Amino acid sequence: MKKVLIVLFLLLYVVPVFACDICGCGVGSYYIGILPEFKKRFIGLRYQQKGLLTHISPSGSTSYLTTNETYRTMELWGAMNFGSRFRVLGFVPVNTIARVNQGISSQKSGLGDVALVGYFKLFNSSSTIKSNKLLVHSLWIGGGVKLPTGKYNPAEKNIDQLQQNTFQLGTGSIDFTFNAMYDIRIMDLGINSNISYKLNTRNKYDYLYGNKFTGNILAYYKFNIRKRITIAPNIGFLYEEAAIDWKDANSMVDASGGYSNMLSTGIELNYKDISLGGNYQSPLSQNLSGNTVKAKDRFMVHVSLSL
């Protein structure tokens, strides 16, 4: 039990560093959440939709300058276990970005930035506690790389210092991630936590997205129906924090940085080798780009097959 408390403390109270791309919208966001149940490998599709309102006043009022941006991602993702201690996750996103400003609509679509993340299992243990209840918990740590496979348009960053550089299919840079996943369950009641820190590098167009911190925690309960179907509703929080971007070595992008804290609710369903699920995230508090940017509600659905 002492090990459980130490791990929960580290995951829940880790000092937030900073994030990028306006807290999860725009390019380079890889939310994991609760993984589908699998033994050796799985492959699946995820659809995510997010949105921003930009160029609003610090008080939150909109004007004719306000821009409505929507980010849609259809993503092929999967994971494979190597032995009992190693795991690799992969993400291949296809992005569609839409922008409406002063009645003028614009849109771009294409391949996003492909990412690979490797994990090492520090421990996976089970024990019996009071009233003969089974306690199971595991901790995975790892790191990964994001490749510049998505198109980056350098003209998008040259409008002015108050323009968010989020209308991109990719960052144009090779970036690195450091990750941890922890899950603890007493019988059918569990808590799942993920933290990720993404270290970005400067692309060849001399633009540097700020590094990214993401942390989420979800409480879930597994309902077993006739030992064939498992339904797991979940609820929790997603926290993201953002640093300032840099247009060049000595020029900060004022319209970047901030934080958002979101309430997340969802459900996961498993039947034999098929997993279905989804979640909805709504902002509880946020301060993006000095309150000149507002994150809207998000949602994600997925389906996967265990192989």
Q: 192 with 8: CB under 8 angstroms?
A: no
**CA-wise closest residue to 114 among 49, 177, 24, 70:** 177
Residue reference for tokens 């210092």:
161
Cα–Cα–Cα angle for 30, 80, 75, rounded to 5 degrees: 35
Q: In terms of residue numbers, what domain contains 246?
A: 2-306
**What are residue 48's phi and psi, to 5 degrees?**
-125, 145
DSSP 3-state of 23: helix
User: What's the CA gap between 242 and 247, in Å, rounded?
Assistant: 16
**What CATH number has the domain bearing residue 7?**
2.40.128.130
> CA-to-CA distance for 282 and 237, rounded, in angstroms?
10
Number of domains, the chain = 1
Model pLDDT, residue 26: 59
Per-residue pLDDT of the chain (307 residues; tens, 9 = 90+): 545 444 444 444 443 333 345 556 655 556 787 888 888 999 999 999 999 888 887 667 777 788 899 999 999 999 999 999 999 999 999 999 999 988 889 999 999 999 999 999 999 998 888 888 999 999 999 999 999 999 999 887 655 555 678 889 999 999 999 999 999 999 999 999 999 999 999 999 999 988 889 999 999 999 999 888 999 999 999 999 978 888 877 788 877 888 999 999 999 999 999 999 999 999 999 988 888 889 999 999 999 999 9
Q: What is the pTM of this model?
A: 0.86
Residues facing 196 on adjacent strands: 179, 214
Give the Cα separation of 209 and 155 in Å (integer).
16
> For residues 179 and 265, what is the distance between their CA atoms, to the nearest angstrom?
22
Query: How many CA atoms, within 13 angstroms, populate the side-chain half-sphere of residue 51?
Result: 15
